[in-house]
């Protein structure tokens, strides 16, 4: 039996809609254009995580602003990006202002990245074998010590609006990080288990706002329940259960689904499909031109 790798994102996608997971994660269909949120988030992460790392490693003077600007300019030059509410120029201003305000917001949290012999524990990629051939994989943005010396795992986000208060207690993504870090304490050089989880959010809007929320670490029972769910989902994936899930109009995953035109009307316009994917969907792969 081949191992099945599940990241928190892939798991969420499968739970959202099995058919969307099938199209994007099994057939590897992608959109020709990428939504602006992904490259904007990447540029923000690059800048803020570089700052967090530099602070923890004693390089106090690192300025995150040029890092954001360069990454956003590079994304604009190299990717086909789809914009909705804000233009590329407006997003450059929004991102620059957010990142400029980040050092003050970071200082206000009282957090500091933990370090080991390899430097700050930032972007730690981890895997843990769950059983039944399932591997949980994920990358925690940062491992942190707060003012009281408590170990935490906050996730950095750049959403348009802040998460509802209490979401840190519910988030499966944070549960996954809790499990991954606890499983790697020795290799990370940590002596204690994770004590809290959280989100640090820079809001994508014209007025600058950084916000954060935290939650106690998950209990053993909560983590075990999540692992049981992973095994259940992996079994469903292996058995080929890729059902469509529209939900109700007010909370339908279809409203944000990149595969919507393909799913609803069979149109592959704006999508990139391999010949294997076309074959699996009963489309005729293009024949090579004959002179
Ligand atoms: S349009 Fe809706 S039902 Fe179809 S793949 Fe997307 S989320 Fe699933």
**63-105 residue pLDDT tens:** 999 999 999 999 999 999 999 999 999 999 999 999 999 999 9
The verdict on residue 87 lying in a domain is no
Q: Of all protein residues, whose CA lies closest to atom 3 belonging to ligand 1?
A: 244
For the Cβ of 19 lying below 6 angstroms from any atom of ligand 1, the answer is: yes
The verdict on residue 177 lying in a domain is yes
Chain-centre distance for alpha carbon 54:
22
The verdict on residue 89 lying in a domain is no
Helix 172-183 with 8-16: angle, nearest 10 deg: 150
Q: Is there a contact between 258 and 31 (Cβ–Cβ < 8 Å)?
A: yes
Q: Of all protein residues, whose CA lies closest to atom 2 belonging to ligand 1?
A: 254
CA of 258 to the centre of ligand 1 (A): 8
Q: What is the pTM of this model?
A: 0.94
For the Cβ of 206 lying below 6 angstroms from any atom of ligand 1, the answer is: no
pLDDT tens per residue, range 230-247? 999 999 999 999 999 999
Dihedral (CA of 281, 283, 284, 288) sign? negative
237: CATH? 3.90.320
Q: Is there a contact between 59 and 52 (Cβ–Cβ < 8 Å)?
A: no
CA of 249 to the centre of ligand 1 (A): 12
Could you tell me which residues come within 8 angstroms of residue 50 by beta carbon, excluding any fewer than 6 positions away?
62, 64, 67
Alpha-carbon distance of 22 to 28, in angstroms, equals 8
CA of 13 to the centre of ligand 1 (A): 11
The verdict on residue 94 lying in a domain is no
Q: Of all protein residues, whose CA lies closest to atom 4 belonging to ligand 1?
A: 263
The verdict on residue 40 lying in a domain is no
Q: Is there a contact between 190 and 114 (Cβ–Cβ < 8 Å)?
A: yes
The verdict on residue 226 lying in a domain is yes
* Band (285; pLDDT cuts 50, 70, 90): low
Domains in the chain, number: 1
Q: What are phi and psi of 153, to 5 degrees?
A: -130, 90
Quote the domain boundaries for residue 129. Answer: 1-26+111-248
Q: Of all protein residues, whose CA lies closest to atom 7 belonging to ligand 1?
A: 254
Number of helical H runs and strand E runs in the chain: 11, 14
For the Cβ of 15 lying below 6 angstroms from any atom of ligand 1, the answer is: no
Q: From residue 135, how far is each of 125, 132, 230, 271 by CA, in Å?
A: 13, 9, 9, 29
For the Cβ of 163 lying below 6 angstroms from any atom of ligand 1, the answer is: no
Nearest residue to 145 (alpha-carbon basis) of 176, 99, 181, 118: 181
* Band (291; pLDDT cuts 50, 70, 90): low
CA of 275 to the centre of ligand 1 (A): 22
For the Cβ of 259 lying below 6 angstroms from any atom of ligand 1, the answer is: yes
- Produce one character per residue of 3-39: b if its CB has 16 or more CB atoms within 10 Å, e if not: ebebbbebbbbbebbbbbbbbbbebebbeeeeebbeb
The verdict on residue 144 lying in a domain is yes
CA of 255 to the centre of ligand 1 (A): 8
The verdict on residue 53 lying in a domain is no
CA of 45 to the centre of ligand 1 (A): 29
Q: From residue 158, how far is each of 4, 133, 200, 276 by CA, in Å?
A: 29, 34, 9, 35
Q: What is the pLDDT of residue 131?
A: 86
pLDDT tens per residue, range 139-162? 999 999 999 999 999 999 999 999
């Amino acid at each position: 039996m081949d191992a099945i790798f599940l990241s928190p994102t892939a798991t969420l996608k499968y739970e959202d809609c099995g058919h969307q997971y099938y199209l994007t994660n099994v057939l590897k269909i992608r959109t020709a254009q990428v939504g602006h949120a992904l490259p904007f988030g990447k540029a923000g992460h690059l800048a803020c995580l570089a700052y967090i790392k530099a602070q923890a490693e004693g390089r106090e003077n690192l300025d995150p602003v040029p890092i954001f600007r360069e990454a956003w300019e590079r994304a604009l030059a190299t990717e086909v990006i789809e914009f909705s509410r804000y233009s590329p120029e407006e997003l450059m201003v929004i991102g620059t202002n957010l990142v400029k305000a980040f050092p003050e917001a970071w200082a206000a949290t009282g957090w500091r990245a933990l370090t080991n012999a390899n430097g700050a524990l930032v972007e730690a990629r981890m895997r843990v074998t769950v059983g039944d051939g399932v591997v949980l994989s994920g990358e925690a943005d940062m491992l942190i010590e707060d003012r009281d010396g408590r170990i935490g795992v906050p996730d950095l986000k750049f959403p348009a609006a802040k998460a509802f208060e209490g979401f840190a207690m519910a988030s499966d993504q944070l549960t996954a990080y809790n499990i991954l870090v606890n499983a790697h304490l020795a290799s990370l050089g940590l002596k204690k288990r994770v004590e809290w989880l959280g989100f640090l959010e820079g809001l994508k809007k014209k007025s600058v706002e950084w916000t954060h929320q935290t939650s106690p670490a998950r209990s053993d029972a909560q983590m075990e329940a999540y692992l049981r769910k992973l095994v259940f989902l992996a079994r469903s994936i292996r058995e080929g259960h890729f059902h469509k899930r529209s939900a109700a109009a007010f909370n339908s995953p279809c409203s944000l689904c990149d595969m919507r035109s393909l799913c609803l009307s069979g149109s592959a316009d704006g999508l990139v499909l391999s010949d294997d994917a076309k074959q699996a969907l009963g489309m005729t792969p293009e024949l090579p031109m004959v002179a």
